[in-house]
Copies of this chain bind each other. A is one copy, B any other.
Amino acid sequence: MSSVPSEAATKVERSSLTDTCASGTGPCDEALARAFQFLGKRWNGIILGTLANGTSGFAELRRNVGGIADSVLAERLNELHEAALIIRSVDPGPPVAVSYALSPTGTALVPALQALGAWATSNLPPS
C-alpha cells in the first residue's frame, strides 16, 4: 500500500475525516475514520458495491448505480482510482472503451460491504 502514490493526501480537505475520532480501542478509531474518508462521501459505497458485481464501463455503471450525476460519477471514479481502490482500463478501440474494476484493495472491502448489506436486510425497514 505504501507503494501507491496517494495524491489524495496532497489535497487538503476541510474537516478531514481522518482527523476525527478519539483514539480508542473501539470501532471508531483512526482506521474507521480512514474507511469513511471514502465511504462517507455520497455514492462511493454504492459504486464499490456495484463494481463488486464485475467490471463495468462508465455508462453501464451509471445505469447500475442509478440516480448519480455524470459529473459526480466521473469525480468519484477518479478519486477511487487515485486511491487505488479501483482499476481503470482503456481499450484503445476504435471505439475507445474504458472499463472500471475493483482493485485488490477494493476487493478486500467486499466482505465488509456484504456485512453491511446483511445488517440492513435484518435491521432496516424496506423503503
By a beta-carbon cutoff of 8 Å, the part of chain A in contact with chain B is: 1-2, 4, 6, 9, 15-22, 24, 26-37, 39-46, 48-54, 63-69, 83, 105, 108-127
Contact = CB atoms under 8 A, between A and B. Distances in A.
Identical subunits present:
2
Contacts of A31: 116-118, 120-121, 124
A90 to B, nearest CB: 24
A115 B118 contact: no
A83 to B, nearest CB: 8
A35 to B, nearest CB: 4
Contacts of A120: 31-32, 34-35
Contact of A20 (B28, B37, B54, B66): B66
Contact of A49 (B27, B69, B117): B27
Contacts of A48: 28
B67 A22 contact: no
A35 B122 CA distance: 11
